[in-house]
Amino acid sequence: MPGSPREGGHVVVLHRWTDRYADYGRYLDHTVHRVSYVTTEQALRHLPVARAAGVELVDSTEDVKAVREAVDRLTERSGPPTRIVALQETDLDLAALLRDEFALPGPGAEELRPVRDKLLMAQRLEAAGVPVPPTAAAPDHAAVTRFAAAHGWPLLVKPRRGTASAGVTRLDSPMALAEFTFPDGVDLIVQPWVADRVLHVDGVFTGREPGLWRASRYLSTCLQFAEGEALGSVEIDEHSLPAGLLQLVSSATRALLARPSVFHLELFESETGALTVLELGARPGGAEVPFVWREVHGVDLMAAAFAHQTGTPDPTPAALPHTGRVGGWLLVPPSAPTPCRVRSVRLPDDGRAYARNIPPRGRLLTGGGYEHAGARFRFSGASTAEVEADVLRTARDTSVLCAPVDAGEPARIAVVGCGNPPYRRYALAALAQRVETALVQPAAPQWQRPYIGDRFRSADTSDADAVTAAVADLLAPAAGPVAVLTWDETLLETTAEVARRLRLPHLSPQAVRHCRDKLATRRALAAAGVPSAGFRHVHDHDEALAAAEQLGLPVVVKPRGLAGSIGVTLATRPEEVAGAFEQVRTSSFPGIRRLDGAIVEEYLTGPEISVDCAVDHGRVHVVNVARKRLGFAPHFEETGHLVAPWREESWAYDVEFVVAAAHAALGLRTGITHSEVRLTPSGPRVVEVNGRLGGDFIPLLGALATGVDQVAAAADLALGRAPTLVPHLDRCAEVRFLYPGHDAVVRELDVTAAAAVPGIVETVELAPPGTELRLPPRGIVPRLAALVAVGDTPAQCATALDRAERAVRYTLAPLSP
């Protein structure tokens, strides 16, 4: 029962990092406590999703409305939160507001104010006798002019609430002030610009005094970093610490912190050794500080901060372990303002850093804090001098050469794989009309050449490293927006990983795996309460029969991860279940690895439809619906599809609701999807969701029937643009596939006469002479031809297709068993 003491409460974590800054699964037992996460698609990668009570995705954890709605959904699922956790500085304010709203333990908005409001912070420190720079509110030019008259030039104007020197401006003269524009809706303060070197002290405040702590010296300033210079830091040898530092740290933490807390204190040290506090954050230091502490000193500051916010025991030792090592770090920003694309990275030959995070060629850099600042390095040595020399040498020999992204230049999309030309030529042609199209596949291009020119790289498309390098080669030289895209089911996981590495819009790798593994799909839908089918995961004939008995015959037996309905069989009697399982065991699909076992699931009765959607930042837009034509029972061969007006159907609203819920459950937030739904007597139920364009010409049918081009929508979404989804046609389009009457070899095939039938807009030969066709379940989509008709009604389409089918001429030779 949610809320029972046995479950240990409901902890909601606001999380935004994409790197492994925090290890929540180690900090709190997710089997005892209900731990839920509000995070972004990009930050999902290192979270213990499988053990989480719930995960809600938002575009940004700074979107108060979206986060609040996400917390509401988690509350419905797992009960009211008993703790709210946020470890990243920018999320502290919202976490405090949520604690206040739910009346939860931990720092609320008022308690947090002295460490978030820099004007109040300076006032509190000054009142406690802690030296601070003169600080005043800066609402307008007049206020800054008065401050300059008292304290001189140059000055710094900065947000009262800010982080990482974002929005900080140096003003050197009255003329510079006159040219400065005060931002709307942002409260500013003004301080003198101080030329002293900057130190930072990181540690843990016990509630009475600093416990363990460590002082470091910046080798440049955060402001310089914001202006494009490298930012480095090195820890200070204990014997070289400034006099009076501990007393200043003690006074500052006592003045600003009301409870045990991790802290990050920044201060000035003058040439004479005088210390002045700049600011203090009630959180672990940014940049590489948490990694250095964990890797060099064996202390996890994030674990301590997590414990403080959850009320669990603080794992921090009483004293910093003596390792005899000094740590340091370095951030090297891109050579161009963001957004920009990495052209190349130059690195030092000696590799002095013990860890580094280098953006790959082709990656889109959009800024967003130190984590995404460019190249990142961590160092360890025996002394401050040794580490400082390594940091400076690496800074000197490293460059991240980038080119600005010009939204006005032509867009370029790299397509990974291209599929079977009869089925996907229309898609590549439509894409090439909108953008510069490039291609990555193992073999040299043939039919694709008119659409891609010389924009091609050969790569093993099962190797994410190779595909990333190939895509980067094709995209890095482009001046305009770029994207990566695939409509090949077998290449979805690779493409999603490439997009993640290059920071390009796409379904996340986790979401793609949810779709590709039908068992993961079923589990996710069941956990979210999305209407689907009862199921069992089985590994042998006996388990399959037992599952069929539990679920009730008839049942569907299917592979976990193939495509095209391969290996999917309806079993109506117990004796058919073993054969169906054997069919799964022996089935394969080119390019898709087999997943263990099979799925036995409840047979859903009723018509089957496919629902094509465009998903934009988590908002699911149904683009069109196709009625499936199925044949070759007990197998589920798709013999045709009809796209016709559907919004007036009695099931329309329920289908939209169920499909949107399925997307949320699977974490599908950006891209084109293709879902299959059964219209059962109890309502729509999801069969599966695919993270790609629909196959079998369904997107083409949609364009013919509604005027909405799904290929164009897929391109726009991949480029981070809003797609055009408003229909301007209201008619019907249908595809019918022709099959041989028996297993055969195609000798001749001619669709010329069929193409001349009124209402027929497309005829495609799918089996050139010499093709062997084996009917299900022995063969994979053994089709002779595809016929596409357009009409005002389904009946008009059917009439045209009947005439065209009779007009197709072909000769077959029997195929030996």
pLDDT, one tens digit per residue, over 332-353 is 999 999 999 999 999 998 879 9
Q: What residue has token string 């040290």?
A: 269
Find the helix or strand (DSSP H, E) in which 440 lies: strand 436-441
pLDDT, one tens digit per residue, over 591-622 is 656 667 889 999 999 999 999 999 999 999 99
Q: Based on the number of CB atoms within 10 Å of its own CB, is 53 exposed (0-12), middle (13-18) or buried (19 or more)?
A: buried
Under DSSP, is residue 130 helix (H, G, I), strand (E, B) or coil?
Answer: coil
- Please state, in angstroms and as integers, the Cα–Cα distance from residue 208 to each residue in 18, 249, 263, 275, 318, following that order: 34, 12, 13, 22, 14
CA 356 remoteness from chain centre: 22
Lowest average pLDDT, out of 290-294, 561-565, 600-604, 620-624, goes to 561-565
Mean pLDDT of all residues in 776-801: 94
Query: Per-residue pLDDT for 3 more than 60?
Result: no
Q: What residue has token string 């402001």?
A: 223
| CA 293/CA 262 separation, integer angstroms | 12
Taking alpha carbons only, the member of 529, 505, 527 closest to residue 668 is 505
Which residues are 437's β-sheet partners?
413
Query: Per-residue pLDDT for 308 more than 50?
Result: yes
| CA 78/CA 76 separation, integer angstroms | 6
The pair of three-digit structure tokens given for residue 141, joined into one six-digit string: 């030019």
| CA 506/CA 489 separation, integer angstroms | 14
Under DSSP, is residue 38 helix (H, G, I), strand (E, B) or coil?
Answer: strand
pLDDT, one tens digit per residue, over 482-506 is 999 999 988 999 999 999 999 999 9
| CA 55/CA 508 separation, integer angstroms | 14
Query: Per-residue pLDDT for 744 more than 70?
Result: yes
- Beta strands 364-365 and 436-441 are unpaired
Q: Assign 416 a pLDDT band (cuts: 50, 70, 90).
A: very high
Find the helix or strand (DSSP H, E) in which 376 lies: strand 375-381
Mean pLDDT of all residues in 410-420: 94
CB–CB of 398/373 below 8 Å? no
DSSP code per residue over 178-241 = HH--PPTT--EEEEE---SEEEEEEEEE-SSSEEEEEEEEESS-HHHHHTT--EEEEEPPGGGP
Which residues are 440's β-sheet partners?
416, 457
What per-residue confidence (pLDDT) applies to 558?
87
Taking alpha carbons only, the member of 538, 737, 740, 495 closest to residue 638 is 737
Please name each of the domains of the chain with its CATH number: 5-105 (3.40.50.20), 134-192 (3.30.1490.20), 197-404 (3.30.470.20), 412-504 (3.40.50.20), 534-602 (3.30.1490.20), 605-730 (3.30.470.20), 734-814 (3.90.1170.50)
What per-residue confidence (pLDDT) applies to 817?
65
| Length of the chain counted residue by residue | 817
| CA 98/CA 58 separation, integer angstroms | 16
Question: Mutual orientation of helices 64-78 and 92-102 as an angle, nearest 10°?
Answer: 50
Taking alpha carbons only, the member of 434, 561, 418 closest to residue 486 is 418
What per-residue confidence (pLDDT) applies to 567?
74
Q: Assign 589 a pLDDT band (cuts: 50, 70, 90).
A: low
| CA 408/CA 507 separation, integer angstroms | 25
| CA 488/CA 56 separation, integer angstroms | 28
The pair of three-digit structure tokens given for residue 573, joined into one six-digit string: 């009697």
What per-residue confidence (pLDDT) applies to 565?
62
Taking alpha carbons only, the member of 493, 510, 487, 515 closest to residue 718 is 487
- Please state, in angstroms and as integers, the Cα–Cα distance from residue 381 to each residue in 219, 237, 581, 768, following that order: 16, 11, 60, 68
Share of the chain above pLDDT 90, in %: 84
DSSP code per residue over 515-548 = HHSHHHHHHHHHHHT-----EEEE-SHHHHHHHH
Q: Assign 2 a pLDDT band (cuts: 50, 70, 90).
A: very low
What per-residue confidence (pLDDT) applies to 5?
32
Query: Which DSSP category does 108 fall into?
Result: -
768-800 burial, b at 16+ Cβ within 10 Å, e below that, comes to eeebebebbbebbbbbbbbbbbbbeebebbbbb
Query: In sequence order, what E strands does 45-179 have?
Result: 54-57, 83-86, 136-137, 155-159, 169-171
Could you write out the three-class secondary structure of 597-653? CEEEEECCCCCEEEEEEEEECCEEEEEEEEEEEEECCCECEEEEEEECCCCCCCCHH
Contacts of 683 (CB under 8 A, 6+ apart): 531, 651, 654, 658
What per-residue confidence (pLDDT) applies to 87?
97
Q: Assign 590 a pLDDT band (cuts: 50, 70, 90).
A: low
Lowest average pLDDT, out of 86-100, 284-298, 366-380, 718-732, goes to 366-380
Under DSSP, is residue 689 helix (H, G, I), strand (E, B) or coil?
Answer: strand
What per-residue confidence (pLDDT) applies to 563?
57
Across the chain, what does the average pLDDT equal? 93
Query: Per-residue pLDDT for 675 more than 80?
Result: yes
Is pTM beyond 0.85 here?
Answer: yes
| CA 4/CA 10 separation, integer angstroms | 10
Q: What residue has token string 């679920």?
A: 551
Find the helix or strand (DSSP H, E) in which 674 lies: strand 670-680
Query: Per-residue pLDDT for 584 more than 80?
Result: no
What per-residue confidence (pLDDT) applies to 321?
86
Under DSSP, is residue 317 helix (H, G, I), strand (E, B) or coil?
Answer: coil
Query: Per-residue pLDDT for 314 more than 80?
Result: yes
Region at 106 (left for phi over 0; alpha for psi -120 to 50; beta for the rest): left
Contacts of 641 (CB under 8 A, 6+ apart): 610, 626, 627, 628, 629, 696, 697, 698, 701, 734, 735
Does residue 339 have a cis peptide bond before it, meaning omega lies within 30 degrees of 0? yes
pLDDT, one tens digit per residue, over 119-133 is 999 999 999 999 999
CA 700 remoteness from chain centre: 28
Q: Assign 227 a pLDDT band (cuts: 50, 70, 90).
A: confident
- Beta strands 637-643 and 670-680 are unpaired
